[in-house]
Amino acid sequence: MKVQSIVNGIFDTNCYLVVEKDECILIDAPAPAASIIDILDRFKLKLTWIYLTHGHFDHVLALRELKERYPVAKIAISRADKNYLEKGGERCRLQLSTFGTSLLRYFKDEDFDFPPIDRYLEDGDELEFGFYAMKTSGHTDGSMCFINDKERVIFSGDTLFRGSVGRTDLGGSEEEILLSLEKIKNLEGDYTVLPGHDRNTTLSYERRNNPYMLFN
């Protein structure tokens, strides 16, 4: 298994291509789609699934273009976050406008017209390539981490960052994110943590240094 990270968009959002042979899955879909498409086409990869850690606009706005380019790819998100992708992306559009209405000019209206969801993820669901979903509410109600015990890797979305956690004032809960961090902290052994923003870290480092874990 190989992992290719891509830093994308005006909020420097990380997304990840997880590759086995000529097939791959995508963790999160930040715009612009062109950066992701370039790698997929250059290496002739077959995109089978797009797994979303949560529904915030900076993680989903490449979905329409990706689905048009790769119609066989399926989209999965927690049921609790599905409303970000409904009603013409109304919730995503409104959330983006809170950062300044001028940011809307970076996106086309049709980018908010999201394709249908193919699967609603639940805690413990088994995914492709040996991953499973762990519900980690707090940043959003339906935030998910994707974990592979064999490869010792966690895609943590915006739940866990190096030395920090995701904000909870955009539809989240501080109480819930602390409970989710406790779940992650209690995983056995060490993992590489690949977050939705900023640089990679390890679970052992976060257990020792992240204040939200130290005092949780």
Q: Domain map of the chain by residue range? A: 2-214
Residue 104 pLDDT level (bands cut at 50, 70, 90): confident
Q: What pLDDT score was predicted for residue 22?
A: 93
Q: Which residues are registered as beta bridge partners of 4?
A: 17
CA distance 121 to 4: 23
Q: What three-state secondary structure class fits 15?
A: strand
pLDDT tens digit sequence for 48-100 = 999 999 999 999 999 999 999 999 999 999 999 999 999 999 999 988 888 87
User: Are 33 and 62 within 8 A, CB to CB?
Assistant: yes
Q: What pLDDT score was predicted for residue 52?
A: 98
DSSP state of 32: P
Q: Counting Cβ atoms within 10 Å, is residue 66 exposed (0-12), middle (13-18) or buried (19+)?
A: buried
| Buried-state track 14-39, b at ≥16 Cβ within 10 A, e below 16 | bbbbbbeeeebbbbbbbbbbeebbee
Phi and psi for 18 in degrees, rounded to 5? -105, 120
Both tokens of 180, joined, read 């989710």
Residue 38 pLDDT level (bands cut at 50, 70, 90): very high
**At the top level of CATH, which class does the domain 2-214 belong to?**
alpha beta
Cβ neighbour number for residue 158 with a 10 Å cutoff: 28
Q: What pLDDT score was predicted for residue 216?
A: 62
pLDDT tens digit sequence for 188-204 = 999 999 999 999 999 99
209 pLDDT higher than 70: yes
